Structure 1
Amino acid sequence: MQRLFEIDRHRALGLLQAGLPISEVYLRMNVNRTTIFRFRQRLHETYTVSDRPGSGRPKRTTQRQRRNLVRNHMNNRFLSASASLRQIRERNNERISANIVRRRLSTSCLRARRPYICPILAQRHRHQHTLWAQEHAAWDGIQWRSVVFSDESRFCIDHADGRVRVWRRSGER
């Protein structure tokens, strides 16, 4: 069933109470016919237009707390989840974990990423790079075999690496 917002449910209720058939209501609201049919059926069962209670455990944070959390991280992108948790506990005395903070940020499309650091190349550096490339342009495979290239990757297996992270949306720098 297509989800109707609260205002759409009240609009559908008004149209149905005005005596319009389901075929006219779904055309006016531009939704599927079964959506209005099931809405009317549930209205007769529950006598209310509000949602039924959802299944599962209720969230530990409210929508307002989530918005505040996201706003804090948008204002200070380098704030860690555990530092944000300490602030929340000081203000609200809430019993939530750092994983809950990370999940709330993740559902708001914020991810912890490495900050973008651009190498600073002066005009002299660029000139030296160009000279090096021109000198080695004619090398053959035998000469290149004695050169080792390294990507300087870091691997951290059993502990936190201490690297600073920045919370950002995808596509942001």
Structure 2
Amino acid sequence: MSSSTLPSPARGLPVKDDDFQTQTRLHEKDTVSDRPRSGRPRCTTQRQDRNLVRNHMNNTLLSASASSHQTRGRNRQRINANTVRRRSSTSGLRARRPYIGPILTQRHRQQRTLFAQEHAAWDCIRWRSVAFTEESQFCIDDADRRVCVWRRSG
């Protein structure tokens, strides 16, 4: 809507076309909510979306692909795993790596402190005789089959 097609009260005022259209829609229809738009319809209902999120909260080790195999869309077709990830993401769930580390008890802490105190005075010559090993895992391709846990972001 250009300024020449605006009604006479809005012609001389510095009012944007969008603002004027919004105000007229409010007066005509008593709402400014978005109208239906074109585009591909969603393959899942809101109820199915809630069930997906609930399943991932109850079973945090459930993968997106396994969840997609269990869920049928509106037309009884299997949904894509990326759809499951998007639905989970919009509700605040993210697939994260689980914490993998030693669960230390008080006894473990005492033993580590004792070891550190006993070896604090060692010089470089004595430490050279110790073989340190690293437990890193290297994966040539992307399919390392690591487990992810669904958690709320933040």
TM-score, normalised by the number of residues in structure 1 = 0.60
Residues in 2 aligned to 1:146 and 1:170: alpha-carbon distance in whole angstroms:
45
Partner of 1:165: 148
- Any conservation in 1 of the 2:64–2:84 contact (CA below 8 Å)? yes
Deviation digits for residues 42-63 of structure 1, max 9, x if unmatched?
357x857352223543332222
Q: CA deviation at 1:84?
A: 0.9
Gaps of 5+ in 1: 1-32
Gaps of 5+ in 2: 1-14
Residues in 2 aligned to 1:77 and 1:141: alpha-carbon distance in whole angstroms:
46
Q: CA deviation at 1:97?
A: 0.8
Partner of 1:88: 71
Which of 89, 93, 111 is matched with 1:110 structurally? Answer: 93
TM-score, normalised by the number of residues in structure 2 = 0.66
Residue-pair matches, total: 138
Partner of 1:24: none
Residues in 1 aligned to 2:40 and 2:136: alpha-carbon distance in whole angstroms:
41
Letter of the 1:160 counterpart: A
Residues in 2 aligned to 1:43 and 1:81: alpha-carbon distance in whole angstroms:
42
Q: CA deviation at 1:165?
A: 1.8
Partner of 1:42: 25
Deviation digits for residues 75-110 of structure 1, max 9, x if unmatched?
111111111112113997234211111121122221
Counterparts in 2 of 1:1-173, with a 5 A limit?
37-43=20-26, 47=29, 49=31, 50-54=33-37, 56-89=39-72, 93-140=76-123, 152-171=135-154
> What is the percentage of aligned positions where both structures have the same residue?
70
